A = this chain, B = another copy of it.
Amino acid sequence: MEIKVLEGIFDANEIIARENRELLDGSGVFMVNLMASPGAGKTSFILATLDGVKDSLSCAVIEGDIAGKVDSERIAEQGVAAVQINTGGSCHLEAKQVNHALEHLDLDRLDMVLVENVGNLVCPAEFKLGEDLKVMILSVAEGHDKPLKYPLMFSESDVLIVNKTDLIEHTDFDMEALKETVRKMNPGVEMFEISCRTGEGVERWTDWLTEKVRSA
């Protein structure tokens, strides 16, 4: 019986995710679902991405957090429209919450919406939001052994951002081992090595993303 309830929740989420998809398609808006562990650098990555695409794409951000609005304030300071979702304890965003947030954005004036999911390498991978692209960030400080421990996230993501590469020399992180493991699990994944702190690698990512949004 419990399983039936869960299936019901999952189905309802998928129905609303499809509605989000149709809503976004109607306005020609590309949506990115950004997922990562706490502290992998999601907000800094969003700020770097916004800066890199600002001349070519009109963007807005939906921030998902259990509590607080620190991140959306950081985004708004850059002059970008930001909507904060507080999940009130829940460990992932659901399509319904994103649907409410989309109502607060002027979609006809936008090219792209970046959604920052709750910091969690597990649950967000299970809930579609109606996104065009699932992007996950792994910080090199987390270690190269994470794909085998959190397989769904690494298998489901379209893009893997390896962030904080400026710390790599101070860690045991093995980039080649990571890439080999991830390619076996997810042969189609695009990988980018980035340091949001130094800016290294950001342009290659934002060029790729801009092309992706334009060709969508």
Contacts and interface: CB of A to CB of B under 8 A. Distances in A.
Given A143-B39, A151-B66, A121 B120 contact: yes
Contacts of A1: 5
Interface residues of A, number: 39
A167 interface: yes
A53 interface: no
Given A139-B141, A141-B139, A119 B150 contact: yes
A156 to B, nearest CB: 12
B37 A149 contact: no
A174 interface: no
B91 A139 contact: no
A186 to B, nearest CB: 15
24 contacts: A37-B121, A38-B149, A39-B138, A39-B141, A39-B143, A66-B122, A66-B152, A67-B148, A67-B149, A67-B151, A70-B148, A91-B123, A118-B122, A119-B149, A119-B150, A120-B120, A120-B121, A122-B123, A139-B142, A141-B142, A141-B167, A167-B167, A167-B170, A167-B171
